[in-house]
């Protein structure tokens, strides 16, 4: 049983380390290994998500944060997942899935129309995972402006093979 709860101010100091630890998984893909040393979401993004009630942490056996998910409401309609990260020592045990489930509950509770995200199309723990949760690829020309903007910013940052995905509620 994985406990997921809203992020508290006292959790914030752990989140950057979790994100850095999570990204070490990309070292297994030579073309994406640089992501392990890339910039992180940063404290402002986390504080803002907490203020919006759109940040959750999954707790480990020692009651310490093992993973987090932060999101934003876009166009008054979509719960957009900004970042999902699970520390390397905790991956592959259902923590990511539990955090995604929490985001879905929140979107339903807010009567939103969909959940969205951007991710790598061909990384095993990215698009294929979200597809198994019911997310579908959105053609860039069909995507709302905020998603096209996110993809453009990512391309500018050197990220290729990115895709926008949507789960309709």
Ligand X SMILES: CC(C)(COP(=O)(O)OP(=O)(O)OC[C@H]1O[C@@H](n2cnc3c(N)ncnc32)[C@H](O)[C@@H]1OP(=O)(O)O)[C@@H](O)C(=O)NCCC(=O)NCCS
> Which residues lie near ligand X (CB under 6 A)?
22-23, 25, 84-86, 91-97, 117, 119, 124-126, 129, 132
- In the bound complex, what is the minimum distance in angstroms from residue 152's beta carbon to ligand X? 17
Nearer to ligand X, 56 or 125 (CB): 125
Nearer to ligand X, 35 or 112 (CB): 35
- In the bound complex, what is the minimum distance in angstroms from residue 95's beta carbon to ligand X? 4
Reduced to 3 states, what is the DSSP secondary structure of residue 58?
Answer: strand
Instruction: Write the burial class of residue 136 (CB in 10 Å: 0-12 exposed, 13-18 middle, 19+ buried).
Output: exposed
Nearer to ligand X, 23 or 112 (CB): 23
Nearer to ligand X, 50 or 99 (CB): 99
- In the bound complex, what is the minimum distance in angstroms from residue 97's beta carbon to ligand X? 3
Residue from 56, 150, 46 nearest 107 by CA: 56
Q: Is the dihedral of CA 6, 134, 165, 129 positive or negative?
A: positive
- In the bound complex, what is the minimum distance in angstroms from residue 80's beta carbon to ligand X? 12
Distances (CA, A) of 59 to 30, 53, 82, 84: 31, 17, 20, 14
- Alpha carbon distance 24, 163 (integer Å): 21
Nearer to ligand X, 79 or 84 (CB): 84
- In the bound complex, what is the minimum distance in angstroms from residue 109's beta carbon to ligand X? 21
Count CB-CB contacts under 10 A for residue 65.
Answer: 23
**Closest residue by beta carbon to ligand X:** 96
């Amino acid at each position: 049983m994985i406990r997921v709860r809203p992020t508290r101010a006292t959790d914030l100091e752990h989140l950057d380390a979790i994100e850095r630890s999570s990204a070490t998984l990309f070292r297994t893909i030579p073309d994406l290994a640089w992501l392990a040393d890339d910039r992180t979401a940063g404290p402002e993004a986390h504080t803002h998500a907490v203020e919006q009630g759109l940040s959750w942490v999954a707790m480990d056996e020692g009651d310490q944060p093992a993973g987090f998910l932060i999101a934003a409401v876009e166009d008054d309609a979509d719960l957009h997942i900004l970042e999902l990260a699970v520390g390397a020592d905790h991956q592959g045990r259902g923590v990511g899935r539990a955090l995604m489930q929490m985001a879905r509950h929140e979107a339903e509770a807010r009567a939103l129309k969909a959940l969205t995200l951007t991710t790598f199309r061909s990384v095993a723990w990215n698009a294929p995972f979200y597809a198994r949760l019911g997310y579908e690829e959105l053609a860039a020309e069909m995507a709302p402006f905020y998603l096209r903007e996110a993809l453009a910013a990512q391309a500018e940052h050197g990220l290729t093979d990115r895709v926008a995905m949507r789960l309709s509620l």
